[in-house]
Structure 1
């Protein structure tokens, strides 16, 4: 789908998945909120949740049923420790997986951290017209994903295409059908 000629601000929810971080120590979530606002979007809500797939799934499910949220960005829980469960918690919610997201993230990340990028299970998908992106928990990984992928793909003026067309169309249809 073609890009828009005007910038369309989106409502983006940010979720930090961590057993140890709080608002004071959540540098990844703080970076994402700042980057979102600097890009001209709105932080709809920010939350921190323990690395529990059911709590994580519940929060994200509430956001994807909201007509107010077009994008959910999760940071954390994508590694290989026993508690890392973000991909398992979220992938089952996807209507469509964005296969290229994880591939591109690892490609860009390889330039920065070499083969260690194979330990990233970054994923993205669409659910109920909402884009959900699951990033590693490090602030560096969040910067890589935002600067290398999300900033352009959430910009309605980015050509030749971006996700905004899909997000705004889906939410407009949902609002119209509810009347």
Structure 2
């Protein structure tokens, strides 16, 4: 099967750190994702720290989904089982299509780092209004695992046999 060579397409990315305790100074996960995305050639057009509250998460995520200028949202935090962890509950109803394989693959590649504790990860991803959303745990290590093993390739139009870039909305001119 032959594939035509594609050029790299830089995407506009928003980053959301879901936390009741993180600040810009202590947000190592959001900072890692911003650096990794920028180093890959993408544009980080928004970065926020949002309290672990279903409705605040949904409100900001919905604004990003509705924006013509944001093609991807990377969310870190709120995917565990602690009392206020509510990212999956906030985000799943917003998805037009859920990317079932993301959580499965994330847990698979995480097992080498954290063993059976990976079973407590409720990482998920979905597509909404031409925006891809990846929700991953709040640790820097988890974000690094997700970026390096899954997300970087899926946000690169050159990755074969498939990636998400062709499914994303085109930014406003």
Q: TM-score, normalised by structure 1?
A: 0.92
The alignment of Structure 1 onto Structure 2 pairs a total of residues equal to 171
Instruction: Name stretches of at least 5 consecutive residues in structure 1 with no aligned partner.
Output: none
Structure 1 runs, 4 residues or longer, greater than 6 Å off? none
Question: Does residue 6 in structure 1 map to residue 11 in structure 2?
Answer: no
Using a 3 Å threshold, how does the CA distance of structure 1 residues 84 and 157 change in structure 2: closer, same or farther?
A: same
Give the aligned partner of residue 74 of structure 1.
Answer: 75
**1:63 counterpart SS class:** helix
Q: Which has the higher helix share?
A: 1
- The answer on whether the counterparts of 1:106 and 1:118 sit within 8 Å (CA) in structure 2 is yes
**Gap regions ≥5 residues in structure 2:** none
Q: What residue is the counterpart of 2:37 in the other structure?
A: 36
Correspondences of 1:97-108 after superposition (within 5 Å): 97-108=98-109
Deviation, 1:166, is 0.7
Give the aligned partner of residue 86 of structure 1. 87
Q: CA separation in 2, counterparts of 1:102 and 1:3?
A: 29
Q: TM-score, normalised on structure 2?
A: 0.95
For the aligned residue pairs, the C-alpha RMSD in angstroms reads: 1.5
Contact 1:3 1:162 in 2 (8 A): no
Secondary structure of the residue aligned to 1:159 is coil
Asked whether 1:133 is paired with 2:155, we answer: no
Q: Please state how far the C-alpha of 1:82 moved relative to its aligned partner.
A: 1.0
